[in-house]
Chain A
Amino acid sequence: MSAPTLFGLCAAVLVGFGLYGLMVHPQPLRKVLSFNLIGNGVFLVCAVIARRGASAGFGGDPVPQALLITAIVVAFAASALAVALMLRQFDETGSSSLSPEVAPAPAKSPAKGEA
């Protein structure tokens, strides 16, 4: 079995792990971690496709590789936004639970307003 195919199968397992974690963990931070695993799996498939398209003297197809760089940077921005959201929820309520059954504590001061 060729190296790109092996990494492709690795990517499939990564997506599986990530999907399981996303569904099973109640903590939002664990969900972000799992989501990053899914993302890495997708990126890895993309890199495998790039590697298989190697020709014209390049080690891989540069178009999907360039898209990967964009994707990694955007994934970081998305994770940063998700983390900011959960930290704000923690500051407001002292909890990071996503469950609707956990009633949020009232905000410390009404002037703070909704984010």
Chain B
Amino acid sequence: MNIALNLALILLLLALAFWTVVARETFAAVAGFVSYGLLLTLAWVALSAVDVALTEAAIGAGLTGALLIGAASRLRKTEAAARAERPGPATRVLAAIVATAVAAAIAACVLLLPDPAPTLAPEVARNIASTGVGNPITAVLMSFRAMDTLLEAIVLLFGLLGIWSLGSDRYWGGRPGLAPVAEPNGILAYMARVLPPIGIVVGIYILWVGADYPGGKFQGGTVLAAMWLLLMMSGLLDAPAVSQRWVRLALIAGPAAFILVGLLGVFVANAFLAYPEGLAKPLIIVIEVALLPSLAVTLTLLLIGPPQRAGSPP
């Protein structure tokens, strides 16, 4: 991308970010944030981070956008009261000074970055053959820094436990979200019948292709989560009660498989999460395939929130 295109992209990004901060209505700010997230995807592409761009489009803009739009529409009633709490001009000027100072410090750091830049890319290139995968990002995520990825999967699970524990006691173990209102002939229901078969194939393809090209379990899992969410939003499918055994098994299957493979490494390759010679690729595939459904279920349930209804239909 040439410099003029990059400049235009940056100006648009900053304009939308500015709108997100100054918009009067929270809902309008969220709308700005979602379009900003989609544009940010292009910034990752401009920086040759295609894997990150896919993640940003799926999770940063897609799921986070859906989450914030849902919250903004539910909290609309509180807008008027919040306006009275806006800080006075003195606080705002002070905040602007602090924010400008921090931004200037970061800008200075960016301009003073060491040249030539330190990089681990040659290390990755030297060792990627031992993992059997062709995509360097997947090699880092699943082999060189596998511990980070394992902890991340567990952080997601803890986040979900935190959200569940925010449900009220009488609905513990019940179904999250509102009861579905089925409109079998609506356009949403139509989309929910047509898209999921395609989406499921795309999600699994993104997982599989992630071994050698941009893609992977997070992006694929998000596509699967989106298909499930579409089915729930159209009212064709109700959310599962969070106490159901299959939900809980699906949630822990991925991290559990990851930990088991890690423990195998202790006995066979002398380190936690080390892969025995020649078996790296099959083991990475085992972990990724086990993580895909777990991530899809975790991301979906993170989005729809704590249990709010009794488990069995009334």
A residues engaging B (CB < 8 A)? 3-21, 23-27, 29-30, 32-34, 36-37, 40-41, 43-45, 47-63, 65-70, 72-81, 83-88, 90-91, 94-97, 99, 102, 111-113, 115
Interface contact A58-B124, CB-CB below 8 Å: yes
B:76-93 near A, CB below 8 Å: 77-79, 81-82, 85-87, 91-92
Residues of A within 8 A of B6 (CB): 3, 6-7
Given contacts A72-B60, A84-B162, contact A26 B87 (CB under 8 A): yes
In the complex, B197 has a CB within 8 A of chain A: no
Q: Closest B-chain residue to A44, C-beta based?
A: B43
Interface contact B145-A17, CB-CB below 8 Å: no
Interface contact A86-B75, CB-CB below 8 Å: yes
Cα of A53 to Cα of B82 in the assembled complex, Å: 45
Q: Which listed residue, A12, A56, A86, touches B121 by the CB 8 Å rule?
A: A56
Given contacts A7-B6, A16-B103, A87-B305, contact A55 B121 (CB under 8 A): yes
Interface contact B166-A85, CB-CB below 8 Å: yes
In the complex, B20 has a CB within 8 A of chain A: yes
Interface centre among A33, A59, A78, by most chain B C-beta atoms within 10 angstroms, is: A33
In the complex, besides A7-B46, A20-B95, A49-B117, 9 extra interface pairs with C-beta distance below 8 angstroms are: A3-B3, A18-B17, A27-B79, A54-B121, A55-B122, A73-B55, A74-B152, A83-B305, A90-B74
Interface contact A60-B106, CB-CB below 8 Å: no
Given contacts A12-B103, A30-B26, A62-B124, contact A73 B59 (CB under 8 A): yes
Q: Closest A-chain residue to B63, C-beta based?
A: A76
Which of B132-140, B181-189, B262-270 lies at the binding interface?
B132-140
Residues of A within 8 A of B102 (CB): 15-16, 19
In the complex, B302 has a CB within 8 A of chain A: yes
The A/B interface has a contact count, at CB < 8 Å, of 298
In the complex, B141 has a CB within 8 A of chain A: yes
Residues of B within 8 A of A7 (CB): 6, 10, 43, 46-47
Residues of B within 8 A of A74 (CB): 152, 155-156
Cα of A66 to Cα of B152 in the assembled complex, Å: 12
Cα of A17 to Cα of B36 in the assembled complex, Å: 13
Q: Which listed residue, B67, B82, B136, touches A80 by the CB 8 Å rule?
A: B67
Residues of B within 8 A of A20 (CB): 21, 95-96, 98-99
Q: Which listed residue, A10, A26, A37, A79, touches B68 by the CB 8 Å rule?
A: A79
Q: Closest B-chain residue to A30, C-beta based?
A: B26
Residues of A within 8 A of B71 (CB): 29, 83, 86-87
